[in-house]
Amino acid sequence: MHIPIQVIPLQPDGCHLMITGNINGLKANILLDTGASKTIMDVNRVSHYLGNPEIKAFDKPVMGMGNGKIESWATKFSEFSLGALSLSDWPVVLVDLKPINDSYAVYDLPRIDMVLGGDLLMHLKAVIDYQNKVFIINMKE
């Protein structure tokens, strides 16, 4: 399955890669991040997408680009889909993406609802085709 990638230009020569998916049937902007070990969701968007899910403290340290530990929680998607592929009960770490989204807003860039990390990239047997700007999922339902 091929999903188009939107290239988000940053600074003079950097970029982020964004795809669109659905969380419980609602459109979500998803940042592809091969450097993130876990899939995360913006804690500020949980009620919008998941209603009132069971949320627990995430018991492992979540590290960002800085030196400090990032406050985090854990829950599960009841339904997450990319194209025709749908997953249920997938664990997700919740963190505050407001500082990143505030920076994006200054440059009129799309809000990040979720960061698709290494755990889900591996599960999906994903390939990022940079030349053709497509995200390829090789996993069968």
Does residue 141 sit within a domain? no
Chain centroid to CA 12: how far? 24
Closest by Cα among 100, 137, 134 to 122: 137
Q: Which domain holds residue 18?
A: 2-136
Residue 134 has pLDDT above 80, yes or no: yes
For 56-101, the pLDDT digits (tens) are 877 765 555 445 567 788 998 889 999 889 999 889 999 999 988 9
For 10-27, the pLDDT digits (tens) are 878 889 999 999 999 999
State the CATH number of the domain containing residue 93: 2.40.70.10
Residue 2 has pLDDT above 70, yes or no: yes
Which pLDDT band, with edges at 50, 70 and 90, does 53 fall under? confident
Encode burial over 67-106: b for 16+ CB neighbours within 10 A, e otherwise: eeeeebbbbebebbbbeeeeeeeeebbbbebeebbeebee
Q: What's the confidence (pLDDT) of residue 141?
A: 55
Does residue 69 sit within a domain? yes
Does residue 124 sit within a domain? yes
Closest by Cα among 126, 129, 105, 131 to 21: 126
Look up residue 134 and give its amino acid. V
Segments of 1-141 assigned E as strands? 2-4, 6-10, 14-23, 26-32, 40-42, 56-57, 62-63, 69-70, 73-77, 80-82, 85-87, 90-95, 114-116, 127-129, 134-136
Q: What's the confidence (pLDDT) of residue 65?
A: 46
Per-residue CA distances from 106 to 27, 32, 51, 101, 130 (Å): 22, 21, 28, 9, 26
Indicate the average pLDDT of the chain: 87
Percent of the chain residues topping a pLDDT of 90: 51
Number of domains in the chain: 1
Give me the mean pLDDT over the 47-63 stretch: 77
Residue 137 has pLDDT above 60, yes or no: yes
Asked if residues 32 and 7 have their Cβ atoms less than 8 Å apart, the reply is no
Does residue 41 sit within a domain? yes
Q: What's the confidence (pLDDT) of residue 72?
A: 84
Give me the mean pLDDT over the 20-45 stretch: 92
Does residue 117 sit within a domain? yes
Q: DSSP 3-state assignment of 1?
A: coil
